[in-house]
Amino acid sequence: MIYSCKTEKMTRITFSAIATFVVILFFHACQPAIDREKPVVSVSILPVQYFIDQLTDASVEVNVMVPAGASHATYSPTPGQLRRLSDSDIYFRIGHLGYEKAFLPRLSEINPDMHMVNLSEGLKLIVGEEIDHGDHVHEGGIDPHIWMSPAVVLSFLPEIKQALIDVYPEMEDIVERNYRVLVDAIEHVHVSMGDLADELEKKTFLIFHPALTYLARDYGFVQIAIERHGKEPSPALLRHIINEARLHGVSVIFIQQEFDVRSAELVSQETGASLVQINPLAYDWLAGMNHIMDVFKQNLQ
């Protein structure tokens, strides 16, 4: 699939990044340091907070840049988030979200002591051309949804553990103990997902926004996305998607609350496939994975 990039959207991201850094610098330079009851780390999305809370027994304060109900594509940080970000000991970044590309490389100028952890580093990423999603652009066409595959999470979880131990050595015993428990839980999901994929007769599902690309790749599923180039499909493309869904006997369409899903509803009406809502940005990562497996069990037999 070929994706396009519009220069004007990249320009808007750049201007937004400059404005954001002006605000951060103002807050960091002109206001006193924040009193801390706990150590402070920042993360891009809620699922990463979930991993950190599990590892630390919630003994660190986690500043989430994209809060519940928001979209990582269009978020605008509050002054409070910016203060917490500039005063954080660690920043765990996904690596290829639009706003990360725009301003995080300069964050070291504001807080040179901050430990930056790119969770995408060293991973086998899914790469295409620039992906234009209408109001945001994924860097280099790299799909950012790495946390939606248990196999990938098992690859970057050691980086989270080690960063926490390096910065907070007094937490080493707690983090190491909880790490073993968390890895066991994720490995159980990983094995269960693989076993399920082997057992299921069908492997193909539809999704509005392609958030399960890594999961599909790692476990042998086939994801058909309705959203293309960040826009609603054209009538011709919609007919093609409907025909493809019928050809593969697709019985489930995943939708997300932050997207207009009228085209998904039309595909559902034409094919009889069930609409099921998922939230890739929800805090409880484990519950989200179990929900997806339950949907597969019910709809891909």
CA dist 174 and 199 (Å) reads 38
Predicted TM-score (pTM) above 0.75:
yes
Sequence-distant (6+) residues with CB within 8 A of 220 are 197, 198, 203
Considering the four listed CATH numbers 3.30.70.1560, 3.40.50.300, 3.40.50.1980, 3.40.1180.10, the one that applies to the domain covering 199-299 is: 3.40.50.1980
27-42 confidence digits (pLDDT tens):
555 555 556 789 999 9
Residues 210/227, Cβ–Cβ less than 8 Å: yes
Q: Lowest-confidence range among 55-64, 147-156, 227-236?
A: 227-236
Sequence-distant (6+) residues with CB within 8 A of 272 are 251
AA identity, residue 218: D
81-129 confidence digits (pLDDT tens):
878 888 999 999 998 876 676 667 677 777 889 999 999 999 999 985 4
CA dist 55 and 117 (Å) reads 16
CA dist 294 and 91 (Å) reads 33
Q: Lowest-confidence range among 72-76, 177-181, 270-274, 288-292?
A: 72-76
The DSSP element (H or E) to which 146 belongs, if any, is none
- pLDDT for 259 equals 86
Residue given tokens 């209408």 in the structure block: 134
- pLDDT for 128 equals 52
Sequence-distant (6+) residues with CB within 8 A of 112 are none
Mean pLDDT along residues 263-290: 97
145-192 confidence digits (pLDDT tens):
999 999 999 999 999 999 999 999 999 999 999 999 999 999 999 999
Q: Does 134 score more than 50 pLDDT?
A: no
- pLDDT for 22 equals 55
According to DSSP H, which parts of the chain are helical?
Answer: 7-30, 46-56, 79-86, 98-103, 107-110, 150-167, 172-199, 213-219, 235-247, 262-271, 285-299
According to DSSP H, which parts of 31-106 are helical?
Answer: 46-56, 79-86, 98-103
Burial letters 123-142, b for 16+ CB under 10 A, else e: bebbeeebbbbeebbbbebb
Residues 56/164, Cβ–Cβ less than 8 Å: yes
Superfamily for domain range 7-187: Nitrogenase molybdenum iron protein domain (3.40.50.1980)
Confidence of residue 52 (pLDDT cuts 50, 70, 90): very high
- pLDDT for 165 equals 99
- pLDDT for 131 equals 43
- What φ, ψ does residue 196 adopt, rounded to 5°? -65, -45
**Percent of the chain with pLDDT strictly greater than 90:** 64
**Whole-number mean pLDDT of the chain?**
85
Which residue has better confidence, 200 or 84?
Answer: 200
In the chain, what's the furthest Cα-to-Cα distance?
A: 63
Confidence of residue 264 (pLDDT cuts 50, 70, 90): very high
Mean pLDDT along residues 196-209: 96
CA dist 159 and 167 (Å) reads 12
Sign of CA dihedral 137, 139, 140, 142: negative
Mean pLDDT along residues 58-69: 90
Residue given tokens 């593969």 in the structure block: 248
Please count the CA atoms within 13 angstroms of the CA of 105 that sit on its side-chain side.
8
Confidence of residue 9 (pLDDT cuts 50, 70, 90): very low
- pLDDT for 73 equals 67
The DSSP element (H or E) to which 144 belongs, if any, is none
In the chain, where are the structural domains located?
7-187, 199-299
- pLDDT for 129 equals 42
- pLDDT for 249 equals 96
Instruction: Pull the structure tokens for residue 133.
Output: 């999603």
Instruction: Pull the structure tokens for residue 136.
Output: 């945001």
